[in-house]
Structure 1
Amino acid sequence: MHSMNEYSSAIQLRSDRWSALREAAAALTRDPKARETKILNKKIEELFNSLAIIEPYWAFPGMSAFDHLRRQYEHGNYDDLAFAVNRVTRALTTGAYRRRHIPLDRDTVDHEEDDEAMLPPEARALAKPYFEVLIVDNVNEQQERWLKSNVNRMRRSEDSFIYEPVVVNSLEDALIAVLFNHNIQAIVVRPGLTLKSKIDQDILTRYLARAGGRDEIDALQPEFYGPELCRMVAKVRPELDAYLVTERSVEDIAGLDLGICRRVFYNQEDFMELHLNILRGVQARNKSPFFTALVEYSKQPTGVFHAMPISRGKSITRSHWIQDMGAFYGPNIFLAETSATSGGLDSLLEPHGPIKEAQELAARAFGSKQTFFATNGTSTCNKIVVQALIKPGDIVLVDRDCHKSHHYGMVLAGAQVCYLDSYPLNEYSMYGAVPLHEIKRQLLVLKAAGKLDRVRMLLLTNCTFDGLVYNVERVMEECLAIKPDLIFLWDEAWFAFARFSPTYRQRTGMEAANRLREKLRSEPHARMYEAQQSLLKDADEDTILKTRLIPPPNARVRVYTTQSTHKTLTSLRQGSMIHVYDQDFKGEVEQSFHEAYMTHTSTSPNYQIIASLDVGRRQVELEGFEFVQRQVEAAMSMRRAISDHPLLTKYFKVLTAGDMIPEEHRESGVTSYYDTEQGWTDMWDCYEQDEFVLDPTRVTLAVGGTGWDGDTFKTDILMDRYGIQINKTSRNTVLFMTNIGTTRSSVAYLIEVLVEIAKSLDERLDDASRMEKMSFDKRVANLMEHYPPLPDFSRFHDAFKAPDTPEGDIRTAYYLSYDDTNCDYLDLDGSLKDAMEAGETVVSASFIIPYPPGFPILVPGQVISHEILDFMRALDVSEIHGYRPDLGLRVFTKEALDGVSAKQLSNAST
């Protein structure tokens, strides 16, 4: 029997145990031998005991049906048991229980052809969505039946949704239920609930930490159980609705933090009013105003007299040559095309109708104060935010290996760029993330130089392409302690899904901003700040760097995140969002943000992308919790399958947190989220404590043991032979990214492919000659042992850099290269090497980005160091973007640099 620690989610645990029960029950019906019968009986008893812990939190099949199955087993009715368990398991797998009643008796007919998975999309779209309502009340079996029957009596044929009630007795059970059961969309908290659950304590301890922990729960007073439950559920699933039924007076309830509570009912049994509120609450999340408006527009008869021949599909339907395009896409996409802002479709540049409403709903879903849609990717979102907030001369601290759009954004804004170095992972030819120590050190250097007033923004990637996630709240706290009005831009291009998992959410920009503002307002925080100020009164820089700094209560919370919705959630390509939590947005930024948005946003945005953003938001508010759980489970099962397979471990290695995060940044001490002996580590402690954590949905696989480099393995092996697509490699690794659409079948196929590759390598080496084996060993050693060290950012040339501090004028360098007479080309192995050995200072005139690994090792105005030259020479230069193999590396001439320096001196003297 698998323990709870062998699963990373309750969903998969439940699914696998029902499947195991189906197999064992079926085996009993085949008249097994006595010894086998004894083994099966033991297994079935363990499965029933295990499922008995989980099933009270789900409406289907329900505890009465579950107990009936158990009695069938105890009475030896094995055929009836096998039949019923098979139906339950099939209904859970197909989702049929969401559409209709599932009979479990052998003499009843089950309409399998109506299973949701077998229906065409059009029929599924017409079906009423199903959800479950959690009722929390300390009741006995008879009272529970009375509650459920009263709730069910309220359902009407005209209701937009179908729901089933789940009843639990205690506050702890309610918290476990919302963490286990993704079907729950609403919670009814009645006055009779108790505090303690009766289920397994290990499970309670593991899961309740997400809602505040056992100590916080144990300290609650009985009169506050209801309000506190609403508040605690808001921590783990803020998208849900709660309804509090109370016997206390309005005065007692007023002023309490009721979290997700939408309405309070005072000592009444008005089930119809409750029913209508539940439906209204779910409908508020189910709304997709722009998508609905677009659907309605597509149905309208219109005459097209504007600049889009494809609108309404006219240029296609009248064509004799492009009918295949119309057949491929279908009519609706063209019926919904228009360049006009009429028909209720609103304007993205000046939204006042359904786009405005859709953006407001997205702000609610993602926890921001304002959200803005973008139809041309997060690259544009990044440039919008930078241009809105940065003016020429402002100093910006930037992660050097962030996405290239940020570097170009600095050029456009005229920022003085202070590059921050991430810690290197030389063994795998990739960078990690920027340590907080490095960020604080640069801020203190700028403060000592009297430039802190010019420092405007800190820009970091969270999470990185390789899955490294910052402790966002801690970074902002300590930076605000040095610079209380610092603005933060978190590039969360790959992290939009994180909002919908309690574990991940705490490390997102918007959640951290909300928590930080609440913390800054509190009295305990003010006292802690004053106490620390007394201790640090005469502290030196080294002490400040080693101290966990506390920001002043008057610090401003100014946070921006950009997200590629299309990368990790449901959206058409290039659908992205900007989320804003800026206390000074209205007073300081709104106008400049509007101008920057106008600058970079098309006047002809794609309405299909906007509609997909609207629908993608609707999806994650209603089922994001479930989908992210399934995504994590798929990635975890992939990690486990590779790590536990003896053949795969000969050639491959799944990189763990210990491989990708140095020990000093892992305060929890956890090195791996999965251990072959102990199973899964609960990631909550890591996510709560560590400076950096690893996003387990990204699986980085070291492939150097195969003798192939990452790019060859990606292209020649995975893509050409097996049709598996990935887009991130390093010198000796490949990255597999799961998403909310990843299935267990996809994971199984990948494992099959890796096993087949490993077997073919085994056979090839077994048949190889001595020389061939030596050649293979040499290739492996070259990839796994002889790797070039990753270079740090060197420095800006003095012509582009202010004295004393490291920031540089990237804009001047960028545009200086526009004049070809200012530039020359030097060959890596010839003239460039000779010039550097002669002691000359050589300065890059371009962005130089090796791919892989895909980070800029040179930016305009940067001095080329010996380490950078060695790194470039160790790579295949034909893969270096910005480098011309036929000409060499583009650098500035000495005359051009002298001219800039002379101009600086002239400006300084005047």
Structure 2
Amino acid sequence: MKADSKNKKSLGEYYSALQLRTDRWSALKIACEQLTQSHSERRRNEAERKVGELIDALRPIELYWAFPGHDTFGRLGELVIQGRFDVLAITVRNICHSLLSNSYRRNPHHHDVEELTEGSPDDESTENAGKELLYFEVLFVDKFSPMQEENLRRTLRSLRRIEDPFVYEPVFVPSLTDALIGVMFNHNVQAVVIRNDLRRDSEQTLELLHRYLSRLEEAVLEEVEPKEYGPELCRMIAKLRPELDVYLFTDQSVEEIAGAKLGNCRRVFYNQEDHLDLHLNILRGVAERFEAPFFNALTQYARIPTGVFHAMPISRGKSITASHWIKDMGDFYGMNIFLAETSATSGGLDSLLEPHGPIKKAQEMAARAFGSKQTFFATNGTSTCNKIVVQAIVRPGDIVLVDRDCHKSHHYGMVLAGAQVVYLDSYPLNDFSMYGAVPMKEIKHRLLELKAAGKLDRVRMLLLTNCTFDGVVYNVERVMEECLAIKPDLVFLWDEAWFAFARFGPAYRRRTAMYCAGQLRERYRSPEYRADYAKYQEKMANADDETLLKSRLMPDPDKVRVRAYACQSTHKTLTALRQGSMIHVHDQDFKDEVEQAFHEAYMTHTSTSPNYQIIASLDIGRRQVELEGFEFIQRQVEQAMSLRKVINTHPLISKYFHVVTVAEMIPAEYRKSGIKSYWDPEHGWTDIMAAWSEDEFVLDATRITLSVAGSGWDGDTFKNEILMNKHGIQINKTSRNTVLFMTNIGTTRSSVAYLIEVLVKIARDLDDRLDDASNVERKIFERQVKALREDLPPLPDFSCFHDSFRLSSGNGTPEGDIRSAFFLAYDESKCEYVPIAGKAIEREIAAGRQLVSTTFVIPYPPGFPILVPGQVISQEIITFMRALDVKEIHGYRPELGLRVFTEQALAVLEASPSSIQELPT
């Protein structure tokens, strides 16, 4: 019992079974080496027992992997029984090396027992030496006998041809539950073959494996009829990993199976055992995802000899190779980048502005991968994508609800579009000098307010950031559904600049714009929803606004139109060159209402000379995430979770730093699940799925906000002087007392280990400094810590627009004409400066003057606009600005003060409201 308790506790230290697998193999290698080196019988017996325990611990895990495979793994137990410990140690060492280096993916002979029990895994003596083989695994779901498994494995291997671009190995699992665990645990799986004869439940008892089942949206396995196990498994896999190809063998009649929803099932085989046909279908399915049409076209173009008689001397590298002075540029970059440099107008390659060839196909494949109806590439960042969508959707005078602390490109987009802006306030996190996200109640309140004022027909768009820079993620489906219940044709622009990776993580995917748009469209078409809506309509008849604010709202299926846009900085979280971004569209009315305007907006903001290398990187980045995004994101989350745990439990680091928890980032009222942290010493790891299913807001685990207040350094100083200058660690987001570490798909265990080493060193240096400090120095340090922990100015809410910039002032709704204020400020005679030092500004306010900002004022950090053109400057904003200790405030000149409109300029506008219409539009 004690051993079981100890084992359970040790398993609780692992966030995932993948981490457990890696560490168990490493431990087995060490134990086998100890077994060969033990001279006393007692130590040898102890080492042999340890080896046996580790083999037993790995047995349920290895069921789901093709390498090292059943035969090899079974051989390990035989070697222990035979006492051949030297051979055992060699075999385990070779397996560990192959797993760690991924050499088993390059050399299929590593799957052979003989290869692993002798020699070195680095040997290149096989017939495939030097040939890079692209390797994956195929999950077969059926109750096979060991002999049937071996026969099928040999048959599939015999079908391989030397010209095949890929090589795969089969993995066999007997049940529906095992299949679900397998596709979530084994990132090598690229295809699933589902046979007739399978049971529902798994015989595996390892809790860490069954934790993967929490990724299912509904626990309805008990309700599935046995004959439906295969089709239901197809549907479940499509929700968990939509990129996978699925093949179904069935003995049902054509009439029964025809028309059934089978997720991403590429083909149904009717009682056939045509192995060659299956083999070719598997290869073709992976080949379709592997294709990168524009990247391939560009590489082909670079190989073609051409004569250049157009602009761009750098094209084909001629201006570099002919130079005596800049050849080092060619040495640094290599020639391919210049050989691939050309212009769309010169012919030979596709045009981004009017794609019809490989760019068009690449965008279509990106739409498939990211779950959109249309996808458009951009080569100058998501700032431009945001402005394209706003210009395409919003007409002058339309009302747009905007997250106030969103990226500045949205605010400038409102200026360009001539929108009437309603700014939404996020909940404040005063303890960390940052904002969270906009509560559902705030959004509904503003929509109902506009409805009561008779302006709902002018409301065009809701614009929110998901996820925020600091990792707060909306319940996208709920936001869209409840807003559509009030305004059935509302357009949603989700700024997913930091969330491009989310599509390829099963938990994260549920909170992405494209996924939720698809789910809602499907739901509103169903008869079940119509029945539920009829009951809801009866219940909510004559409900007042207070009731609507407190209730979960449902849209009318006969009126609702799902219209969602997502702008993603692919380069921020996936593999793409700087400024490579995408616009994803799922808009039912795109072709009728938006397509032409979108085309014009795209032309307006897109360069006629886009960078082909950026476009190619978007194409190849899409290929990567379709084939290994699941694996990379799985590892990314694991690294981030491990980092959280180590920092908050390390005795030295935790004296001065701590990772801000879910409870600290998201108030309890928005956490229905009750989750407080992802890990704590008492309960271990928290399953995040309950939170990601139901909470209004969740925290992206890959973003780690570190409180540095205990060190006495503010965030900006810690970032620049400590992390960057002393240790070469780069970050780009701070608040007054925090720094943000963002893991990504390239983060490794080594990089995590280095960060921990640095934090330990910093903490040790602080210990030494304080040990040697005088009483006065200690008091100064304590005051610095107190100032960063307690003496923090409250974050100001948006005040209001001045009446001069409200076309319908006096009726209680808050929208303002930001464009008119922005362009009015071009006239210097209408502007003046008011210093915030001293009490001059308070005297102006006390005298009854409304000071109105002429510009955006954006402190970095925290990076949100605390003032926008036309906004009244409140005392809270002045107090906050005085407390800022950052060096960079855009739109503010400290030697002059705040730039405001003169009283005369505002008086002219108030006396003649129509004069505002004469400003540029």
Q: TM-score, normalised by structure 1?
A: 0.97
Return closer, same or farther for 1:559/1:409 CA change in 2, 3 Å cut-off.
same
Q: Deviations over 1:507-562 (max 9, x none)?
A: 00001111111111111211111211111112121111110111211311100000
Return closer, same or farther for 1:11/1:107 CA change in 2, 3 Å cut-off.
closer
**DSSP-derived class of the 2:202 partner:** coil
Matched residue, 2:3: none
Once the 2 structures are TM-superposed, how far is the Cα of residue 68 of structure 1 from its aligned partner? 1.3
Matched residue, 1:535: 539
Matched, 1:468 2:472: yes
Question: How far apart are the structure 1 equivalents of 2:360 and 2:431?
Answer: 48
Matched residue, 1:810: 818
Q: Deviations over 1:478-531 (max 9, x none)?
A: 111111110100000000000001010000000111111111111121111121
Once the 2 structures are TM-superposed, how far is the Cα of residue 713 of structure 1 from its aligned partner? 0.3
Matched residue, 2:4: none
Aligned residue runs from structure 1 range 23-102, under 5 A? 23-31=30-38, 37=44, 40-100=47-107, 101-102=109-110
Range 98-107 or range 617-626, more displaced: 98-107
Matched residue, 2:769: 764
- Structure 1 residue aligned with 2:579, among 560, 574, 578? 574
Once the 2 structures are TM-superposed, how far is the Cα of residue 9 of structure 1 from its aligned partner? 2.9
Aligned residue runs from structure 1 range 817-828, under 5 A? 817-828=825-836
Q: How many residues align?
A: 902
Q: Deviations over 1:794-837 (max 9, x none)?
A: 00001112322001000000001000011000100243232123
**DSSP-derived class of the 1:465 partner:** coil
Question: How far apart are the structure 2 equivalents of 1:907 and 1:339?
Answer: 44
Matched residue, 1:597: 602
Matched, 1:17 2:24: yes
Matched, 1:421 2:425: yes
Once the 2 structures are TM-superposed, how far is the Cα of residue 41 of structure 1 from its aligned partner? 4.5
Return closer, same or farther for 1:43/1:864 CA change in 2, 3 Å cut-off.
farther
Question: How far apart are the structure 1 equivalents of 2:783 and 2:40?
Answer: 56
Question: How far apart are the structure 1 equivalents of 2:828 and 2:187?
Answer: 61
Once the 2 structures are TM-superposed, how far is the Cα of residue 45 of structure 1 from its aligned partner? 3.5
Matched residue, 1:479: 483
Once the 2 structures are TM-superposed, how far is the Cα of residue 432 of structure 1 from its aligned partner? 0.4
Q: Deviations over 1:560-580 (max 9, x none)?
A: 000000000000000000000
5+ residue gaps, structure 2: 1-6
Once the 2 structures are TM-superposed, how far is the Cα of residue 435 of structure 1 from its aligned partner? 0.4
In structure 1, what residue type is equivalent to 2:454?
A: G
Q: Is the 8 A contact 1:565 1:571 kept in 2?
A: yes
Once the 2 structures are TM-superposed, how far is the Cα of residue 148 of structure 1 from its aligned partner? 1.6
**DSSP-derived class of the 1:130 partner:** strand
Return closer, same or farther for 1:32/1:890 CA change in 2, 3 Å cut-off.
farther
Question: How far apart are the structure 2 equivalents of 1:764 and 1:616?
Answer: 47
Question: How far apart are the structure 2 equivalents of 1:646 and 1:202?
Answer: 29
Matched residue, 1:373: 377
Question: How far apart are the structure 1 equivalents of 2:452 and 2:45?
Answer: 77
Once the 2 structures are TM-superposed, how far is the Cα of residue 37 of structure 1 from its aligned partner? 5.0
Matched, 1:778 2:777: no
Range 836-845 or range 766-775, more displaced: 836-845
Aligned residue runs from structure 1 range 257-406, under 5 A? 257-341=261-345, 344-406=348-410
Q: Is the 8 A contact 1:28 1:78 kept in 2?
A: yes
Matched residue, 1:704: 709
**DSSP-derived class of the 1:112 partner:** coil
Range 710-719 or range 543-552, more displaced: 543-552
Aligned residue runs from structure 1 range 656-805, under 5 A? 656-801=661-806, 802-803=808-809, 804-805=812-813
Matched residue, 1:584: 589
Q: Is the 8 A contact 1:8 1:632 kept in 2?
A: no
In structure 2, what residue type is equivalent to 1:421?
A: D
Matched, 1:896 2:908: no
Q: Is the 8 A contact 1:211 1:233 kept in 2?
A: no
Once the 2 structures are TM-superposed, how far is the Cα of residue 682 of structure 1 from its aligned partner? 1.2
Question: How far apart are the structure 1 equivalents of 2:48 and 2:288?
Answer: 48
Once the 2 structures are TM-superposed, how far is the Cα of residue 907 of structure 1 from its aligned partner? 8.5
Range 190-199 or range 173-182, more displaced: 190-199
Matched residue, 1:855: 864
Matched residue, 1:110: 120
Q: Is the 8 A contact 1:136 1:169 kept in 2?
A: yes
Q: Is the 8 A contact 1:845 1:892 kept in 2?
A: yes
In structure 1, what residue type is equivalent to 2:88?
A: L
Aligned residue runs from structure 1 range 202-221, under 5 A? 202-203=207-208, 205-214=210-219, 216-221=220-225
Question: How far apart are the structure 2 equivalents of 1:280 and 1:761?
Answer: 59
Return closer, same or farther for 1:5/1:388 CA change in 2, 3 Å cut-off.
farther
Matched, 1:182 2:187: yes
Q: Deviations over 1:45-99 (max 9, x none)?
A: 4322221111011000012211211222244332222211111111000011111
Q: Is the 8 A contact 2:181 2:210 kept in 1?
A: no
Range 96-105 or range 464-473, more displaced: 96-105
Over the aligned positions, Cα root-mean-square deviation in angstroms equals 1.8
Once the 2 structures are TM-superposed, how far is the Cα of residue 627 of structure 1 from its aligned partner? 0.3
Once the 2 structures are TM-superposed, how far is the Cα of residue 23 of structure 1 from its aligned partner? 1.2
Once the 2 structures are TM-superposed, how far is the Cα of residue 901 of structure 1 from its aligned partner? 2.0
In structure 2, what residue type is equivalent to 1:699?
A: I
**DSSP-derived class of the 1:57 partner:** coil
Question: How far apart are the structure 2 equivalents of 1:112 and 1:559?
Answer: 51
In structure 1, what residue type is equivalent to 2:118?
A: T
Range 134-143 or range 105-114, more displaced: 105-114
Once the 2 structures are TM-superposed, how far is the Cα of residue 274 of structure 1 from its aligned partner? 0.7
In structure 1, what residue type is equivalent to 2:562?
A: V
Question: How far apart are the structure 2 equivalents of 1:718 and 1:59?
Answer: 42
In structure 1, what residue type is equivalent to 2:908?
A: G
Matched, 1:832 2:862: no
Q: Is the 8 A contact 1:634 1:747 kept in 2?
A: yes
Q: Is the 8 A contact 1:847 1:858 kept in 2?
A: yes
Q: Is the 8 A contact 1:371 1:580 kept in 2?
A: yes
5+ residue gaps, structure 1: none
Q: Is the 8 A contact 1:83 1:104 kept in 2?
A: no
In structure 2, what residue type is equivalent to 1:69?
A: L
Matched, 1:154 2:159: yes
Question: How far apart are the structure 1 equivalents of 2:328 and 2:541?
Answer: 75
Q: Deviations over 1:591-647 (max 9, x none)?
A: 000000000000000000000000000000000000001111111111111112011
Q: Is the 8 A contact 1:665 1:692 kept in 2?
A: yes
In structure 2, what residue type is equivalent to 1:247?
A: D
Question: How far apart are the structure 2 equivalents of 1:269 and 1:107?
Answer: 35
Return closer, same or farther for 1:157/1:874 CA change in 2, 3 Å cut-off.
same
| Percent of aligned pairs sharing the same letter | 65
**DSSP-derived class of the 2:193 partner:** strand
Question: How far apart are the structure 2 equivalents of 1:281 and 1:205?
Answer: 29
Once the 2 structures are TM-superposed, how far is the Cα of residue 6 of structure 1 from its aligned partner? 2.6
Question: How far apart are the structure 2 equivalents of 1:719 and 1:204?
Answer: 40
Q: Is the 8 A contact 2:661 2:677 kept in 1?
A: yes
Question: How far apart are the structure 2 equivalents of 1:4 and 1:539?
Answer: 51
Range 67-76 or range 626-635, more displaced: 67-76
Q: Is the 8 A contact 1:72 1:78 kept in 2?
A: yes
Question: How far apart are the structure 2 equivalents of 1:832 and 1:849?
Answer: 19
Range 107-116 or range 753-762, more displaced: 107-116
Q: TM-score, normalised by structure 2?
A: 0.96
In structure 1, what residue type is equivalent to 2:350?
A: D
Matched residue, 1:251: 255
Question: How far apart are the structure 2 equivalents of 1:316 and 1:798?
Answer: 59
In structure 1, what residue type is equivalent to 2:334?
A: G
Q: Deviations over 1:707-754 (max 9, x none)?
A: 000000000000000000000000000000000001110110000000
Q: Is the 8 A contact 1:877 1:885 kept in 2?
A: no
Return closer, same or farther for 1:706/1:156 CA change in 2, 3 Å cut-off.
same
**DSSP-derived class of the 1:782 partner:** helix
Matched residue, 2:612: 607
Question: How far apart are the structure 1 equivalents of 2:624 and 2:603?
Answer: 29
